[in-house]
Amino acid sequence: MTEQNFDSLRKAMVESQLRTTAVNDPRVVAAMAAVSRERFVPQDSAFLAYADREVPLAPGRALPAPMVLGRLLTEARTRPTDRALVIGSGSGYAAAVLATLVASVVALEVDDALVAIGHGAVPANVTQARGPLSEGSAAGAPYDLILFDGAVEQVPAAIVAQLADGGVLAAPIVSNGVVRLSIGRKGGAGFGLTSIIEASSPILPGFAKPAGFQF
């Protein structure tokens, strides 16, 4: 496919997948219209980059559908001065989009092979971090925004602790087999999550709730 083909697909994504699903923050729309999503998927999957579906990156990992990121960033209400953390950043697409909206981004990933997919396409204000996803990245804390680039069953207290007072957490949350895009806000010692909308999202490893006791 040519660059013109991808440009056309990107414009179609904005019109048919973002504007129709309440992704209505002009800054978010402009960011997603500018970042070349095809640079963050395996070459043999580039033709799927703008499809309304998740794109496999490696066994057990995938890039969420565009609407998922667009809606989370819209609800997060990012500011140009924010310092952000992306957990499970994979190939770096979400971090690249977010980097156009905030001052700096830490992209946390545990799999070097996923990071290599988007090598060279990530902006200069993105810092790559390695380590277990469930531990976050305390070295760069506190963050004004923490974004999960995939669904989780629970948000560990250690990650909530890395939010600045008044900070926002955006994540697809799995509950009883249903994924809901959710926004959390931290105020003092308090933290609460609000569900926004049901959506499909790949699951990030390491965030499963412990199985309950059964007789």
Question: In terms of residue numbers, what domain contains 104?
Answer: 3-198
Indicate whether 205 belongs to any domain.
Answer: no
Average of per-residue pLDDT across 85-112: 98
CATH number where 96 lies: 3.40.50.150
What pLDDT, in 10s, does the model give residues 177-186?
Answer: 999 999 999 9
In a domain, 126, yes or no: yes
Enumerate the β-bridge partners of residue 86. 107, 147
Q: Determine the pLDDT at residue 55.
A: 97
C-alpha 72/C-alpha 91 separation (Å) is: 18
Residue 90 in domain = yes
| Number of domains composing the chain | 1
Distance (Å, whole) CA 16 – CA 112: 33
d(CA 133, CA 80): 25
- 109 in a domain, yes or no? yes
203 part of a folded domain: no
10-65 pLDDT per residue, tens: 999 999 999 999 999 999 999 999 999 999 999 999 999 999 999 999 999 999 99
This prediction has a pTM of: 0.95
Query: Is 160 contained in some domain?
Result: yes
Q: Give me the pLDDT at residue 213, please.
A: 42
Helix, strand, or coil here: 28?
Answer: helix
210 found inside a domain: no
Q: Is residue 47 a part of any domain in this protein?
A: yes
The pair of three-digit structure tokens given for residue 31, joined into one six-digit string: 């960011």
